[in-house]
Chains A and B, each alone.
Chain A
């Protein structure tokens, strides 16, 4: 009797697969449920990121000035840019390359999966994980530099921008040889007790002089130890009037930390999932499933998406 039962069930299943489109047994897009849901998750995530980046654009358009990215992001560890003279953006370009390379190794892992080559999948996935970890380390350095050296925070943007050509005053309020051009950014350094802030450009400024709190002829030191230098515009409606450096639009710091943080968190969770799936690959779970390592394909989709988002974060924050 048992035999006939299974035969009957088998017959019913066949029927579902072939004819009846309403039974839900067929996939109209000819992909598995898991893959299609990954695509739609990525679509929704793309809208989240687009919302963030469009907010950045709207706030940038609404501000009279905005920090120049190739000045803000001109820093790098180990004095790399000294090799090339001046090389703004070189560090973040390196970060982009890291993510592109890890995306490529991910493609290779998926390809090896289609061939059911367990060791191949494992090796390429491990390389991908290293790429992701490398990117995260670079980001950690960038954040540390911005927070602890350049004193950027969610509500304070130490990078301001000049709206006309002009020149700086020295400590005693006399005209100095240091000039600037319209649209150039400056960094407001902090000279708190024992602190020094000449790491970021502007050579010859800061190290020798003892700054005192209060408003002086050449600078103004606020209660938190930030030294706002004074300058004179050589043209424009404010020509000839002494100005004091102001903090830049506060939204810049918040946008930077939220958007790159949100992306970095995607990379971080991507690395975790890659690790879990790599462990499953190693243990042979997917050999038993015999579906061409579909799980690797799904995490691959996610990983490429993280790279894709970086293309636009890179565009909006660093290139434009």
Chain B
């Protein structure tokens, strides 16, 4: 439950509305800037794109923090409750790093396969394995 008076908390809500709307607007503008919609020479600049991406992700995290702490009243809950909900989320940091790395590896392998497929067919090679009958058990009944 909130410790603010009714009037104060109503003001807080109006502030929240303006804040979320403005931050969302800024995010869209940054995104369009990064893609080169405002200044066309920016188009295709990986550095600008990455910087804008990180900025937008940061702003989104701030929006998430605001919604959870203000609108969902996490601010006024016992610290143990807040931590029991938020600390498990830290696992996602690992998940993001691991799976993006994995995605990159898939891409590398796909490129590699495409490159090898394009090579002229090599003459049939001697197998490094022993002849097939080596592995067959001889059954003498």
Interface residues, chain A, with chain B CB atoms under 8 Å away: 28-31, 36, 39-40, 42-43, 46-47, 50-51, 54-55, 57-64, 68, 70, 86, 88-89, 93, 96-97, 100-101, 103-104, 106-108, 111, 114-115, 181-183, 292, 300-301, 304-305, 307-308, 311-312, 314-315, 318-320
Contacts and interface: CB of A to CB of B under 8 A. Distances in A.
Contacts of A43: 85, 88-89
Given A28-B78, A39-B81, 6 more contacts: A57-B103, A61-B107, A300-B72, A301-B72, A307-B67, A315-B27
Interface string B63-103: 11001100110000110110011001100100110011011
B26 to A, nearest CB: 11
A111 B88 CA distance: 29
Contacts of A318: 31
Contacts of B78: 28-31
Contact of B99 (A57, A314, A319): A57
Of the candidates B13, B31, B44, B84, the one having the most CB atoms from chain A within 10 angstroms of its own CB is B31
| Interface class of chain A by DSSP | helix
B21 A97 contact: yes
Given A58-B100, A320-B53, A89 B10 contact: no
A220 B91 CA distance: 48
A276 to B, nearest CB: 21
B71 A312 contact: no
| Interface class of chain B by DSSP | helix
Interface string B25-53: 10110011001010000011000000001
A89 B28 contact: yes
A96 B24 CA distance: 8
Interface of B: 1-2, 6, 9-10, 13, 16-17, 20-21, 24-25, 27-28, 31-32, 35, 37, 43-44, 53, 56-57, 60, 63-64, 67-68, 71-72, 77-78, 80-81, 84-85, 88-89, 92, 95-96, 99-100, 102-104, 106-107, 110-111
A111 B9 contact: yes
B99 A54 contact: yes
Of the candidates A61, A106, A307, the one having the most CB atoms from chain B within 10 angstroms of its own CB is A61
B30 to A, nearest CB: 8
B13 A108 contact: yes
Contacts of A89: 28, 31-32
Given A55-B99, A88-B32, A89-B32, A100 B85 contact: no
A183 B44 contact: yes
B71 A103 contact: yes
A40 B85 CA distance: 7
A174 to B, nearest CB: 27
Contacts of B80: 28-29
B89 A107 contact: no
Given A50-B95, A183-B44, A115 B6 contact: yes
B35 A68 contact: yes
A311 B66 CA distance: 12
Contacts of B71: 103-104, 106-107, 304, 307
Contact of A312 (B10, B60, B85, B110): B60
Given A181-B44, A319-B27, A100 B102 contact: no
B102 A58 contact: yes
